[in-house]
Chain A
Amino acid sequence: MRFMYIVTSPQPMQAPTPALMEAMGKITEREIKAGRMIDNGGLMPLREGARIAIANGKLSVTDGPFVEAKEVIGGYAIFELRDKAEALAMAKEFMQLHLDYMPGWEGICEMRAMIGHGTEMSGDEKAAILAEAIRA
């Protein structure tokens, strides 16, 4: 099963500390050698990017920088793993590095199964999601 990890943080975007870069480098090397890591990378701050939104039946383009502070995606990784349990263990290990080598940093690693590669969205799942959303 293929998983994507997306790291977000409400804090002002900072580059990883040298200690964190080194620790992540070691994990990356290990995981690439094991054939588990497919891809990984950092994303430039949102102010270097843009947002294209659809609302009220219209397209609108907002070029960076952005005024409102919100959770910004800092980095991502794609892994090929046996199951969700293995994926969760990897996410925890990865975030533990952030805890160890970037004190004071707060954020979330969102883990998502990637469609295809062993994961499909069934009709039942779609119905359940809609039902949940209607209740909320």
Chain B
Amino acid sequence: MRFMSIVISSQPMQGPTPALMEAMGKLTEREIKSGRMVDMGGLAPLAQGAHVAIEGGKLRVTDGPFVEAKEVIGGYAIFEFRDKAEALAMAKEFMQLHLDHMPGWEGTCELRPMIGHGVDMKCGEALQSAQLA
């Protein structure tokens, strides 16, 4: 099963500390060698990006920078794992590095199975999602 993990934070965007970079580097090397990590990367600040929205039946482009402070995605990684339990264990290990090497940082790692690669979104699940919301 393929998973994407997305790191989100509402704090002002900072790059990883050198200690965190080093720790993530070791984890990355281990995971690439074992064939589990497919891809990973950091995203430049939202100020350099843009939003293209659909609202009220219209397209609206908002170029950065953005006024409202909101949760911003900082980075992502794509892994190939046996199951969700394995994915969760990796995400916890990865976030533990943030706790250990970037004190004071707060944020969330969102873990999502990727469609295809052994995972399909059936009509039933789509309906269930609609009912839950």
Contacts and interface: CB of A to CB of B under 8 A. Distances in A.
Contact of A126 (B15, B49, B50, B111): B15
A136 B11 CA distance: 12
Nearest to A92: B52
B46 A52 contact: no
Interface size class of B (residues with CB under 8 A): 35 or more
A52 B44 contact: no
B92 interface: yes
Contacts of B48: 84, 112-113, 119, 125
A78 to B, nearest CB: 8
Contacts of A108: 51-54
A6 interface: yes
Interface size class of A (residues with CB under 8 A): 35 or more
Contacts of A107: 53-54
Nearest to B49: A112
A58 B61 CA distance: 38
Contact of A44 (B53, B67, B115, B130): B115
Given A15-B121, A73-B6, A107-B53, A51 B109 contact: yes
Contact of B125 (A6, A45, A55, A58): A45
A116 interface: yes
A23 to B, nearest CB: 14
Given A73-B6, A88-B50, A43 B44 contact: no
Given A52-B92, A133-B12, A42 B121 contact: yes
B126 A14 contact: yes
Contacts of A47: 129, 132
Interface in B41-88: 41-59, 61, 63, 65, 67, 69, 73, 76, 84, 87-88
Contact of A115 (B43, B59, B87, B103): B43
Contacts of B19: none
3 closest residue pairs by CB, A with B: A133-B12, A12-B133, A42-B115
A23 B80 CA distance: 28
A89 to B, nearest CB: 10
